[in-house]
Structure 1
């Protein structure tokens, strides 16, 4: 093992040389009006100050010292951090075009190659987003057809929970499978049994990549990509990507055998029909290729599963933690819905339940750092110069916990969304799906899923901690990942 010391010294020397070559970088000293920020040290920048597991927490602390617009340097990666509702809104909504790009982040570029929708760039992103929104509408997003699919899945989920007969069980696997089946039915034109080995494998690959992509090891890779060959987590992420893409490729190759443009059974079918049309017309065919299809399906599968599933996992945990809130929701369900099947039409008459669902999303803070943005041009923002292509971190956690916008920002408090008369009250700082050009494409679908799954579950069950576990001992510490689930837990679902 005598070789380890010299190799590390060599790597540090290479990093130091690279750091010197990067001097001046994006800012290029073109303006005296640069955002403030902490002083840096060679090679590391500000990396030594960061909570590597939850960097957004360090960023929030720094914002109290440097203000709502400040700059950081993590290794060679320079960025501008935006915090607070007013600042994030000004960037993503009022100056949406200027903040509409994605930065080049090594792990995301390795995963997507610039294709798909979530991490795509420029014209490719615009074409794929237009196609995705139109196709999701064709397959019923926001309409009765997709509502019926969600209700069907709610039935399967409640029947599965009934099999535990009130005994303690872990809810993560079946909840994730149930939610995922909604986007899967759109993408692949089918649903999977919760025990299906292929389905469970796909969910494992997706969840593992979501978790690993936010680990300290991958953060180090993002700031020092030349070290990738030493980092096992990066290799695991890429192996998982290949296995998932191989599955998608096998699926759409099978679809091509009997593709009928007049009988499109899935999102994949619609893409392949469009691909055929564009190839015949020789217009825009550069976008409708197989690599874009694989990246797009990966993006939609992950985004359509993780955020809603994690929100519902938080909802059940918070109902166990706050049984008085669970009772009030159940009383409203009994009053408005009774024994009928919950429908989205009921939501307008259920202000308390609606408030609880919104507060779950706010409190759970599923995507605290947001997906990073980048500037499309040189701009002056809040009096500071920010160059084109700058990595922008608009922290959603700072919006959802903004003390100027929320009465009790760090508590679970459904009254945040109720007025003095008990009616549902919107709050402009409720931005769990982000905002602007890069807002979540599946926001309407997610809202429908959350309401129907949540009301169906609480109509049928009362969720309690396992025997011997006081509610005060329930752990609300968030787990790690690009999207944040609660720590794994068990529940008992008693029939009502």
Structure 2
């Protein structure tokens, strides 16, 4: 009887919510609706959404059951909302899962738009771009070189490349934020990030945003999420305590030092309320780990996948590197500011980012006031999802959009720009670091090794199904065959 009563209450709540939404929106010119909602369970939702504009246009609501959500599926629509009308679309939905993971929205990534949020974003961005500006590239180069030396020690044995790359990117983040690359610390934070991402992606957590009152029920997924968050917060607080105990005014050893000292001299903008606190530094640290470990490792894994499928491009990249840097046995490299010396490498990176944006649907936005996109009314409080992948595969914009063709980026001004990190006020803060890492890692990896498929089996070009946030590769291994004197080259017998 209690179960029946609960089901009746759930049905009544959902039905009344739907009818109320339709009633409030009845006078507006809304984007077209996709009938039903079961299509939202598609295994590769960004690719599925890509096909809908042929029938509905580049702006639409993804289901009749969710008229308060709109998808932007073209570059024109995304840039109108996020760049031209960025204030209207700079908000974030205030969902139970976001509140749970962000210490009550004290977060740059999922925090709602406000003057306090702007100050928090400025502090985090300054720590990333100013606090460690002189040390960032040398650290990335050094840690990547150590990574290549570890891979060389495996003598061409099959390697689960995503795991190795995610450990590398986690090491870089640890060193930049904490000034520490000790192996146990790196692995503890790496495992914590992976646990958080897998738990957050689970349907038992995602459904809380659709039916919030389910939070009062005993849910194994929610228990697991809370335990993962407790572990995360304990680890970050321990680093905050260590840094505060040894902080020297005017000296910044790492990003955490920079942000903690930034709190002391922070002055709020005129008309704002509240102040930045240590909890904001806490969540900036979490943002940098979540955004700087998995997404960059995923992009690098896709680059390896595409080069395994296109050995002729890999060979041309190695020839370009050898031509600019000399024999692969030398330890020289090109600085990021001089990356134009490697046009094919830059074009390859852009093509990987275009075809496989690591977060293809970005994070959802929320309208802060009534607005419009391409002539459609968008009410205040509407959830707006920019399908970045849709803008990258638009046949009206890109020639042969589904093809891996780096040459499209070799002609200056002959191609549109992609939006792999979003755009506008909510553009990914970690874009400069991510681009630096991708450039340095691919440069050193291709100089040191020839990438070969393990056991002759090429990895799938299809993403792992049912990934809610990140467009991940399916699990695969690669053989890293050392290059240099006496080593067989690409295409030679092994």
Normalized against structure 1, the TM-score is what? 0.88
Please show how residues 234-249 of structure 1 align to structure 2 within 5 Å: 234-249=222-237
CA-CA distance at 1:31 after TM superposition: 2.7
Matched residues in 2 for 1:73 and 1:233: separation? 26
**CA deviations over 1:394-431 (Å, ceiling 9, x no partner):** 11110111111221211211122122xxxx55743411
Please show how residues 24-423 of structure 1 align to structure 2 within 5 Å: 24-25=20-21, 28-29=24-25, 31-39=27-35, 46-51=36-41, 53-73=43-63, 78-112=68-102, 113-123=104-114, 124-141=116-133, 144-193=134-183, 196=184, 198-228=185-215, 229-277=217-265, 286-338=274-326, 339=330, 340-419=332-411
Aligned to 1:42: none
Matched residues in 1 for 2:125 and 2:25: separation? 41
Matched residues in 1 for 2:99 and 2:162: separation? 29
CA-CA distance at 1:299 after TM superposition: 0.7
**CA deviations over 1:77-128 (Å, ceiling 9, x no partner):** 8201111111111111121121111112322221112112000113232111
Q: Residue 296 of structure 2 contacts residue 438 of structure 2 at CA under 8 Å; is this kept in 1?
A: yes
CA-CA distance at 1:318 after TM superposition: 1.7
CA-CA distance at 1:371 after TM superposition: 0.9
Q: Secondary structure at the match of 2:61?
A: strand
CA-CA distance at 1:27 after TM superposition: 6.8
Bigger mean CA deviation after superposition, 453-462 or 442-451? 442-451
Q: Residue 131 of structure 2 contacts residue 258 of structure 2 at CA under 8 Å; is this kept in 1?
A: no
Aligned to 1:485: 472
CA-CA distance at 1:30 after TM superposition: 6.0
Structure 1 unmatched ranges of 5 or more: 1-5, 40-45
Aligned residues: 473
Structure 2 unmatched ranges of 5 or more: 484-494
Q: Residue 221 of structure 1 contacts residue 231 of structure 1 at CA under 8 Å; is this kept in 2?
A: no
Bigger mean CA deviation after superposition, 361-370 or 201-210? 201-210
Aligned-residue CA RMSD in angstroms? 2.6
Aligned to 1:3: none
> Residue 224 and residue 55 in structure 1: after superposition, are their counterparts in 2 closer, same or farther (change >3 A)?
farther
Q: Secondary structure at the match of 1:50?
A: helix
Normalized against structure 2, the TM-score is what? 0.89
Matched residues in 2 for 1:120 and 1:27: separation? 29
Q: Secondary structure at the match of 1:213?
A: helix
Aligned to 1:476: 461
**CA deviations over 1:166-197 (Å, ceiling 9, x no partner):** 1112122221121222222221122233xx2x
Matched residues in 1 for 2:304 and 2:432: separation? 21
Q: Secondary structure at the match of 2:377?
A: strand
